[in-house]
Amino acid sequence: MKKQVSTTTILLTVIIIVTLGAIGAYVFLFEKIRTINVTAALLQSDIELKTNKDDQLQSIKKILADTSVDRTKLDSYFVGKDTVVDVIKNIETLAKETGLHIEIEAVDKVALEENDYKELLKFRIKTTGSWSRNIEFIALLKNLPHQISFYKVNLYKSSGVENKNTAIEWTNDMEFSLLKLK
């Protein structure tokens, strides 16, 4: 019977060792699967985050493309940093094409309160010519793509007598401003 106890003991010991091994393997595999699941969840979250960022980037690119014309139009309301001379030449050209003599007396930059991206470009000019040409010039200035604000328009007769032989010349002293980007 001693032999039987020892075989039973051995058999019981083997069964316990195998059971403990199976439980250990189960716990090890369970932890391994849990770690893999956590890693997979983090990777999935990272992929979703990157996908969302990519979607947002594509959306921003689409918005930029869709608003390109509007942004260009908006930019045209401001005199650019490097286009002041071009604007002055454009005003002189408008006057000359209208048939007026133009004298630009002053062009000043005026800072706007609490504004760090734009300022006013104030003009003081004098034009000389016929009444209708001066009025046409004012209308052309109003139609410039830039936002214009008139402060003074003083149109007065500067020479000529009202008869058929001599033309009456009118002088227009005017002050206006345009918005300029700093």
C-alpha to C-alpha distance for 156 and 52, rounded to whole angstroms: 66
pLDDT computed for residue 137 by the predictor: 93
Query: Model confidence over 90-146: pLDDT tens digits?
Result: 899 999 999 999 999 998 888 877 767 778 889 999 999 988 899 999 999 998 888
Q: Does this model's pTM top 0.85?
A: no
The structural domain count of the chain equals 2
Rg (CA), the chain: 42
One domain, residues 21 and 87: no
pLDDT confidence bin for 78, thresholds 50/70/90: confident
More confident site: 58 or 182: 58
The range of the structural domain enclosing residue 10 comes to: 1-66
128: domain CATH number is 3.30.70.60
pLDDT at 160: 60
Sign of CA dihedral 37, 43, 47, 48: positive
